[in-house]
Structure 1
C-alpha cells in the first residue's frame, strides 16, 4: 500500500481517486481553507490535516510518525490560468509551486503527481522554456525526472472539457531508458506537447478511452447520470443523483457558495485513479 501525502488537498479529489485503486492510502492532508478542511475531516476522520504547506517538512512528518511514498499537489492556478492575470509561476499564489517542489525534495517520495491548468505548458512565450520549463528545471535541481500529458475531464466521461496538465515525477534513478535519452532534449525545447515515456503510454490511454466509453454508453460510468439531461429542471427528483451539493446556509453565507468553490477547485477523481493504476503497474513490473 503506497502512502500518500495530499498537498493543496481541497475536498480530496486526488485521494479519492487514488484510493479507489485499492493500492494507495492517504496518511496526511494539507489544506488552508476552512470549508475543504471540514469536508476532509468528515470523509477521512482519522487522517491529520496540516494547514500551511510552508510548514510541511520531512522532519515534521517523521516527528508525527508519518511515512510517505507519494506526494500529490494541484498547486494554485490563479496566476497561470487564462482566466486570471497570468502574473506567472513566481507570483503570490501560483508561486506556491516552489513550496510543493521543496516538499518533494525534502521528503523524497517514490512518486509525485502534480496538476495544474493546461496553460502551464504553453505560457508565456517571452520566457525561454516558459513556466513549464521552470517546473522541469526545479524538479531536475532536486534530482527528479518528469513525464506529463494534458488530460481533459471529458476523456473520462465528464460532461465538460476541463483540460489540465498532469505531471508524474520520480527520482532520476527510476527513469525509463527511453526517458533518459529524451529528457535533456525535452527540457531545452519549447513545451508544446506531452512527455510520452513510461506512465503516459498506450496502456494509460486505453484506460482513459475505456473509462470514457463506459460512461458515454450509460453502462454505469461515473458520469452516466449526466447523460440525456436537456434542462436543469430535469435533475429534480432523479433517484440516481447524489445528495444535493448546493443548498443550505451558514452564518448568512449560502452553503452553495462554499460547495461550488470546493467542487470548482477540485480535480476530477477519475484521472488520478487512472494514473494510480499506471503507478501500480510500474511498481509491479
Structure 2
C-alpha cells in the first residue's frame, strides 16, 4: 500500500545503478522504516511485493523494550523473522552506545539514520560550556540518537537523518510550548544539519488510516537554502505535495545555539507553540507555516483492507449481550467523578464515537490497545454484511499500517500483534520520503 495505491503490484523502480545508501534503523520495532525504504520482495511468503524507494540498504538496527513491559522482545523476534537472525541488535541502545564508545562493540559506518523515537522529556541538564557536551535529563532516548549521530566524529557523521514522532512533539511540553522541538532543532543545528519537518496525516495522501505524525528529515549540505522556497519545494513537499504558499503565511523562528538555552527560555510564557505543521531550518534560522495538502491520487479506506468474513475467527465477533457495553463506552458522556487519590470531584465529559466504524472512510488511528476481547472506547468495530459486529483481526491492522498481510504473524498473540501495529508507522510515508531523497541523490550523481 504505497503512495495511496491499494493494490500490491506496484511498479518496481530500477535503482541498481545508484550508489548504495547504508542505513542504521534505531527503535526499529517490526521494521517499518526498513520495509518502506528497501521494499519487500518475498511474494511467496506474504503474497506481496513492495517496491524499493531507492538504493537503501539497512546494515545495522536496534530494537529493545525495557524490562517490566509486557512486550518481552517479540518485536525484535518479528524483525529477525523477516530480515535475518543477525539483522537487529536486541539490547538497550544506551548500553550499546556505551560499549561502542569504549571500543567494545563495532557499529558500521552509515550514510543515514532512521527511527521512530518515543516522545519523552528532552530537556538539558547543563549548558554546553559546563557539560563538555550535551547532557539530557534521565538519559532519555533523543540523546541516544544525538550520541549515535556523533559517534564516529564529524568526518564519518551520517549525511541523512529521518525521524518520526507524534504530532504533539511540536507543542510539548504543555508548560513551555515548543521547547522540546526547539531542543531537537538546536542539537541538529550543532551537528551541522539542515532540517525539514512536516506533520503528515496519512489519510490525506491516500492511505487507509487517519494517522498524524511528525517527520523530521535532516541532511548535511553545503547548499544555501531559501527557507521560503524549501517550504514549498523541499524534499518533504516533493514527497507530500501541498497547495501554493505565500510569504504572508510563513513565520520566522530563531533556534538557540545551545539546547540548554532552549530548555531554560524558549517560548517561556507562550500559550501556543511557534512551530506549525511544516517548517525548515538552516544555521539556526527557521521558517514555519500551516499547509493544505494537495493530493489527487487514489484514496483507500478501511474497507479496502478487510479480510473476507469467512476468514475471521469467531473470537473476534462481539457477543450480542456485550454490545450495550461497547455502545456505552463509545457514546457521549457527561458525569460527575471523584479522583480516588485526592477526593477532588469534577465533571467529566466526552463526545461520542462512531459505532460501528465506517468502512467507506480511512480508519481512525490504531492504538497499542487495539487487541483483546475486552470492550473499549478506542478499538475499532465494524458491522458485517450479515449484521454482526466484530473487531479488526491482526492481518487487517498490519495492512492499515501498510505492512504486508501477516507481517506480525510470527508467534505473537492477538494483543501483541496489535501492540506492534499501534507503535508502528504507515510504511508508505518513509517510502515516499525515501523516493524523493533517492531522486535528489541521483541528480547529484549525474
| Band the TM-score falls in, shorter-chain normalisation | 0.7 to 0.9
Distance 1:103 1:71 in 2: 9
What is the RMSD computed on CA atoms of the aligned residues?
4.0
Match of 2:418 in 1: 260
Residue in structure 2 matching 1:102, options 131, 134, 147: 147
Equivalent position SS for 1:40: helix
- Output the TM-score relative to the length of structure 1: 0.74
**How many pairs were matched up?**
256
* Paired residues of 1:14 and 1:269 also in contact (CA < 8 A): yes
Q: Is 1:26 aligned to 2:58, yes or no?
A: yes
- Offset at 1:64? 4.1
Distance 1:59 1:156 in 2: 41
- Offset at 1:228? 4.4
Match of 1:225 in 2: 305
* Paired residues of 1:116 and 1:166 also in contact (CA < 8 A): yes
- Please give the per-residue CA displacement for 1:42-88, whole angstroms capped at 9, x wherever unaligned: 011052425222123776899647231110011112x3xxxxxxxx3
Distance 1:99 1:225 in 2: 36
Distance 1:41 1:121 in 2: 33
Residue in structure 2 matching 1:242, options 390, 394, 405: 405
- Output the TM-score relative to the length of structure 2: 0.49
Q: Aligned pair in 2 of structure 1 residues 235, 124: CA closer, same or farther (>3 Å)?
A: closer
Q: Which has the larger radius of gyration?
A: 2
Query: Which deviates further from its counterpart, 90-99 or 57-66?
Result: 57-66
Q: Is 1:35 aligned to 2:74, yes or no?
A: yes
Match of 1:192 in 2: 276
Distance 1:244 1:277 in 2: 23
Residue in structure 2 matching 1:44, options 71, 74, 83: 83
Q: Unaligned regions of 5+ residues in structure 1, if any?
A: 80-87, 199-204, 250-254
- Offset at 1:155? 2.9
Q: Is 1:274 aligned to 2:322, yes or no?
A: no
1:1-285 pair list within 5 angstroms = 1-20=20-39, 21-33=53-65, 34-45=73-84, 46-54=86-94, 55-56=96-97, 64=106, 66-77=108-119, 79=120, 88-90=121-123, 95-107=140-152, 108-124=157-173, 126-127=175-176, 129-171=178-220, 173-179=221-227, 185-188=252-255, 190-195=274-279, 209=295, 213-216=297-300, 224-226=304-306, 228=360, 230-231=382-383, 233=390, 242-243=405-406, 255-285=413-443
Match of 1:82 in 2: none
* Paired residues of 2:195 and 2:280 also in contact (CA < 8 A): no
* Paired residues of 1:53 and 1:100 also in contact (CA < 8 A): no
Distance 2:168 2:93 in 1: 23
